[in-house]
Amino acid sequence: VLPVSLYEKIVSGEITLHDWMKNAKRLGLDAADISTVMLKEHTPVYLNRVNRLIDEIGIPIAMASAYPDFTHPDALQRERELEYLRRDIAMCSELRLQYVRVLAGQAHLETSREEGIRWAVEMLRRAAVTAAKFGVTLVYENHFKPTVWEYADFSFPIDIFLEIALKIKGSGVKLNFDTGNVTALGLDPIPILKKIYPDVATVHISDMAELGKFAPVVIGTGVTPNKEILAYLKQQGFNGLVCIEEASGTGYDGIRKAVEFVRSAWEEAL
């Protein structure tokens, strides 16, 4: 579970990384998913403390979300963004994470479609070299908008996402498929998942209140066909990471309900 509903309390310090990891364990999860904003430092003392925490609680952190802005119109800023991501990759490697989720960048008004695609592909390919060195897999997502950004994701439109995904094939960057973000575009996620399935390493299960609108709800109560998606993954023998992106704003109650729904849907799938 990526606990988006808890981000505000986590950032404020009301909920600590230790609190979240303990609750992830209580929920019976195989691993936790986090945002890099939950990691306060990259000093040796701090990272050693986090590693001890992981060992003490008894489940790993499998993935962390990073927020590179590779579509920034300023070339120098794009280089900074790459260096920020490289630091995140190194930090996540030290914490024994398998995946780092990455994005294309923001839909800056000055960035054209052609430029944004070219810059995102170039930077993702360069970042993949660092990830390979540290034994981490980057997963690029069809994302909407993180709270740390001013603009929506440049590659939220599915045609842009698919073009970038095609152009990074063979780079070592895999895909993180978000189910609800496709629904928010007014589209059926299943045909798109089938198109990109060979490159999907991780899946974010999310849910939207209605078709064509970004309005996250408790997973299992919205219009995203997550039962059918999970059934398809199971039929294909999917053995990657299935992560619940819980963003309904209902806190631990929403997380618990989401876990119950996804676990039940997976077990019932033929």
H/E segment holding residue 200:
strand 200-205
pLDDT in tens, 165-200: 999 999 999 999 999 999 999 999 999 999 999 999
39-45 contact pairs (CB < 8 A, 24+) = 39/64, 39/91, 39/95, 42/87, 42/90, 42/91
d(CA 156, CA 163): 12
d(CA 114, CA 112): 5
d(CA 85, CA 124): 10
Place of tokens 């190194």: 90
pLDDT per residue as tens, the chain (270 positions): 999 999 889 888 999 999 999 999 999 999 999 999 999 889 999 999 999 999 999 999 999 999 999 999 999 999 999 999 999 999 999 999 999 999 999 999 999 999 999 999 999 999 999 999 999 999 999 999 988 899 999 999 999 999 999 999 999 999 999 999 999 999 999 999 999 999 999 999 999 999 999 999 999 999 999 999 999 999 999 999 999 999 999 999 999 999 999 999 999 998
Describe the crossing of helices 44-57 and 75-94 by its angle, rounded to 10 degrees: 50
pLDDT of residue 247: 95
Length of the chain: 270
State phi, psi for 250 to the nearest 5 degrees: -105, 15
d(CA 166, CA 201): 15
Place of tokens 């944004």: 116
d(CA 50, CA 60): 11
Global pTM?
Answer: 0.96
Amino acid at 245: E
Coil, helix or strand at residue 234: helix
